[in-house]
Structure 1
C-alpha cells in the first residue's frame, strides 16, 4: 500500500507532467492558429558556408496558386528564434508566411566567427534568399524585421540587398535599434539608404541603448523619449533629407514617390523599455499595422486582436511544471531501490530560534545581499572583463554572458562559504551544531550517490523539454527566462561553465538548508520565503534602482550599463525559485548537495542555450 509520502508526491509528479503537457498542447494550438498554420523546423547550409536554423510558419492559405507575402523576423543579441513568437503567431494567422531565424551563433545555428557580425554574418539575408525561391511566396512582397540586434541584421540585409543584381526586400521594420540615417561612408551626410522600400522604426522612449543624440564631443543632448525631434528621426521621416520646413511626428505614415514607387516611413515611440519589445502588445500591434500597410493582409484582422499572450501563458505553465518536476521526480526516485538510501528517515524539523541565532541569521542574510549587489556592480565595471563578456576579443571562452553571470555566481559562492565558516566557528559550534547531522558532511558514498540522483533528474527534466520540442515545436518560457531544446555542442559548453555555477548553487543550498534552518513565527514557509527573498534581493534592488532612475530622469545610472540590469531579470526568478526547490529536496533527503547539483546543472544549461556562441 502506498505510503502518505508516495501518495502525496505522486500527486505533485502527475501535476507537473500535466502542466507540461497542457503547456505544449495549448501553445501548439495558439501558434498554429488552431492547426491551420504548419510549423517546420528548418536547418540548411547557406551560401556563407554555415548552417542556419529557423522556424517556418506557413498558413494553409499560402499555395503556389495563392502566393503569400513573407516576413523574416529575428531576435536580438543573446536570444533565440522563439523570442519572436508574438510576431510569428500574429502575422501567420493573418496569412503571412513567417520565418523566424536563429542568427548565426544563436540557438541552433552555427557559431559565429569573431568579427563576422556584419552583413551575411547575421544570417538574415541568407534567409531572404531562401524564401524568395519557395513556390508559395510572393517574391515581390518580402519583408524583414528584427528586435535589437535583429534590427541591425535587417539593416545589414538591406545593405546586401542594395548590392544584389535583383533586390528582394520590399519592406523593413526595425524594432529597438537605430536605422541607417546617414551615408555609410560619410556619417555627416544624411541619405536614404532604403530606397523605395517601406520602412518603419520602433523607438522606445526608455530604450537602454539607442535613440539618443550627441554633440560633436560625444556628450548626450537628448534622451530616448525625445528622439522624435532629433535630426536623425526627422531625416528618416523625410526620406534621408534635412528638410526642416515641418516637424514630422510619431505614429504618422509619411509617403513619397521614389523611382516610381510610393514608399512610406513611420516612427513609433511606445513608452516602454528595450527588452519589453518582443513581449509588448503595443509593439506587436505596430508590427501588424506596418506590414498590413506595406503588403496588405491575406486575412485582415484588427491589429488589436491578439492571441499570442495565450501562448505566453501556456509557455509559462510549462515553466512552472518544469520546476515542480525537479522536486517531484527527485522525491519519486527516493522510493526506488537505486536511490532509497538517500531518503531522509527521521522527521524534518527546523532548529528552534534563539536571540543570538536570529542575530546571526539576519546578519548573514544582510551581509550576503550587500556583497551580492556590490560584487555585481564591480564586475560590470571591470575593464578587463569587458572584452570577454562582449566577445570583443579572441579568447577560449565561447560565450561571454554566461561567463559573466557564472563568475559573479562563483564569487558569491566563495563569499557564502566564508560566511558559513565564520558563523560556525563563532556561533554554530558553541551552540552544539553538528555538521554531519545537518548534511554538511554526509560521507563520500552518499555524496556521490546524490550526484548520481541529480544527474538522473536533470536528464529526465530536459528529456521532457526535448519531447515537447519534437512533437509540438514549443518550449517552456516566460519573457527572457527560457528552458528550450538545444544542439549537442551546448552540452560541451555547459561543462565548461558548470564549475562556476556549482560553486554558487551548492554553497547557497548548504547555507539555506544547513545554516539557516530557524523557525520564524513557528512557520517553516516563512523561513523559506525569507530565504527566497534574500536570495534575489540584491538583483531586485539593482533592477528597481536602475529603472526608477531611468523613468524619472530619462537616463540610466551612470556607470551601470543597461545590459547588466537586463541580465538580472531571469536571475531574480531563478534565485528565488532555487531557495524553494533546494529546501524541498533537502527536507526529503537531508542533503543540501542534491538540490545544489540540480540547480547548478539546470541553470548552466539554461544559460548556455539562450545566448551568443562565438567560434574559436
Structure 2
C-alpha cells in the first residue's frame, strides 16, 4: 500500500474515532445519561426507540417523562437535541421511530403515527412519574403527539408542537382546552405554514385563525406570552425562532424554548438555564464521523482495485473524447440545468404516478426514482444526439468512455467485487461505530444508518433504477464531458464533476430560500417537502461526483463507479425513508 493511501486511511479512521468520542460525549452528557435501545411491542408491530435516563432515577425515585417524536422521513436520532437537553434536566425521554420509519415496523402513519402506544408504554414505565408526562413532536411527530393526547387524555400534562399543528392531515383538532398546556414552537420561516396553521406566509402564524382558536382568542397572538393557566391545563404560548422547518430541531433557540416550556409545565429540574446546551457536540461528532466514513471510501477503492486478481479489472485512464469547444460548453450547461429544472416536476409526479407495491413501498423513494430515471433518459438522448451531430459511432468511442469489458465477464465481475467490497467495508465501519458509540453517521438531515433486514429487501427492488441512472451519469461525466485537463489531473477532475453535480442544487436552494426569507413563503409553497429533500441532494451529489471520478481514474472504466454509487445511494435513501406498506 502506498504511503498516501495509508495516510488517507489514517485520517479517515481518525475522523471516525474522534467523531465518535465527541458525539458520544454530547449524546450522553459526558457519560451521565444512560441511553437504552428499547422496543415497544404493539398489535401492529414493533416500535423502536431510545430511552434517555438521567442519573439517580430509579423505580423508587421516578422522574417526569417526555415522549419525543420526529417528523416525516426522519428517525429518532433527529430528536436527540430535545432528548439530550430534557434528560439533562431530569426527564426520562422516550424518542421513538414513528411507525414505518427507522427500525419500527411499517406501515407509516399507522397507530396514530406511533404516538398512542408509545405514550401508554412511557406512562407505565417504572422509571416515570405518570403524573408528570409531556409530549414533544416535530412536524408529523406533532400529529403523533396530538393523537396520543386524544387517545389518552389523562396520561399527560403538557405538549410542545415544534413546527407542527393540531387538526392537520387527520390529527385531532385543537381548541382552547385541548391539548393540555400547549407550547407551539413555530419557526419564523417554516416551509409548511400553508399546511400547519393555514397562513399565506410563515411569519403570519400569530394571525392564524386556526391557531387563535386553539389559544382561545380572536386577536393576534403575542409571541412569548402565556395564555390561560398551567394548573387548569389551559396554558398556551407561541414561540417563533428565526429558523426553518427542519432547522427547528437543530436550533439552540428552539431547543431552549421547548425545554423551558416542558420544565414549566411538568416541574422538571430548572437548575440549568435553557441556553446551557451540549447536544451540538453530538451533532458535530456524527458529522465529523460522516466525513471520515466518506474519506474512507477512497483508499478502500484504491486498495481493492490493486488487490490480487481484482487488479485485472483496471487499466490506465483512456484518452478523452471531448474538447473545450462550443458543443462542450452547451453540454455542460445542459448537465447543470436539466437536473434542477426537472427536479420539482418529476419528484411531484413520482409521488403520484408510481404506485406503492411490495417492490416500490416507499413514496418519497418513488419520487426520487422517477427523477433519476427521467434524467437517465435525458442523458441517453443527449448522448445519442451528440454522436449523430458529430458523426461519431458509439462503438468507436466505447473504449475511450471506459465502457470496454476487458476480458468480458471476468472484468465485470471483478469490478462488481471492488464496488461491493468497498460498500461492505463502509458497512463494517458503521457497524463498529454504532457498536462502540451508539451513533450513526449524520450531518443534520443527511444520515447514513445501518440498514435493517427489511431495508435490504426493499433496496433490492430500487437498486436497478439507481444503477441505470449512475451508469448513464458515468457515460456523461467520463465520456462526453471529460477533457484532456480533467484526464491529466485527478483533483481537477473531482472538483469539476462535484461542482457540476452539486453546484446547481446549491444555487437552486439559494433561490428557494432567498425567496422564503424575503417573502415568508417558498416560490411554490406545495414543494416544501421537495425543497427540504434537496438539501440532502447537495451532500449526496458531492459524494457521487467524487466517488465516480476517483473510481474512473483508478480503474479506467465506468463499472466500479456506477455500481458503487448505486449501492451507496440506494442504501442511504431506503434506510432513511418511510415505508408505506405492511411488509
- Structure 2 residue 485 is the aligned partner of structure 1 residue 512: no
Tell me the distance in 1 between the aligned counterparts of 2:282 and 2:17. Answer: 13
Tell me the distance in 1 between the aligned counterparts of 2:58 and 2:18. Answer: 32
- Structure 2 residue 534 is the aligned partner of structure 1 residue 568: yes
Tell me the distance in 2 between the aligned counterparts of 1:375 and 1:352. Answer: 27
| TM-superposed deviation, 1:560 | 5.5
Tell me the distance in 2 between the aligned counterparts of 1:20 and 1:567. Answer: 25
1:322 match: secondary structure:
helix
CA contact (8 A) 2:184 2:237 kept: yes
Distance 1:233 1:449, change over 3 A: same
TM-score, normalization by structure 1? 0.87
- Structure 2 residue 264 is the aligned partner of structure 1 residue 277: no
2:228 match: secondary structure:
strand
- Structure 2 residue 289 is the aligned partner of structure 1 residue 318: yes
Spell out the pairing of 1:93-242 with structure 2 (5 A cutoff).
Answer: 93-112=88-107, 117=110, 120-162=111-153, 167-180=154-167, 190-194=175-179, 197-210=180-193, 222-238=200-216, 242=217
Q: Which residue of 2 aligns with 1:412?
A: 375
Distance 1:388 1:513, change over 3 A: same
| TM-superposed deviation, 1:124 | 1.6
Unaligned runs of 5+ in 2: none
Tell me the distance in 2 between the aligned counterparts of 1:213 and 1:423. Answer: 48
Tell me the distance in 1 between the aligned counterparts of 2:515 and 2:171. Answer: 34
Question: Could you say what the CA RMSD is over the residues aligned between the two structures, in angstroms?
Answer: 2.8
Q: Which residue of 2 aligns with 1:488?
A: 453
CA contact (8 A) 2:115 2:148 kept: yes
Report Cα offsets for 1:562-592 as digits up to 9, x if no partner. 1111111111121122111211122111122
- Structure 2 residue 335 is the aligned partner of structure 1 residue 368: yes
Report Cα offsets for 1:218-247 as digits up to 9, x if no partner. xx7642211112333333333xxx465xx5
- Structure 2 residue 27 is the aligned partner of structure 1 residue 31: yes
Spell out the pairing of 1:594-609 with structure 2 (5 A cutoff).
Answer: 594-609=560-575
Distance 1:376 1:172, change over 3 A: same
Corresponding residue to 2:308 among 327, 337, 340:
337
Unaligned runs of 5+ in 1: 215-219
| TM-superposed deviation, 1:210 | 2.8
Distance 1:184 1:96, change over 3 A: closer
Tell me the distance in 2 between the aligned counterparts of 1:352 and 1:190. Answer: 67
CA contact (8 A) 1:388 1:400 kept: no
Report Cα offsets for 1:544-576 as digits up to 9, x if no partner. 222222222223223751111111111112112
CA contact (8 A) 1:285 1:304 kept: yes
Distance 1:63 1:312, change over 3 A: same
Corresponding residue to 1:448 among 401, 410, 413:
413
2:272 match: secondary structure:
coil
1:406 match: secondary structure:
helix
Report Cα offsets for 1:512-537 as digits up to 9, x if no partner. 22332224598653443232122124
CA contact (8 A) 1:10 1:332 kept: no
Q: Which residue of 1 aligns with 2:224?
A: 251
1:609 match: secondary structure:
helix
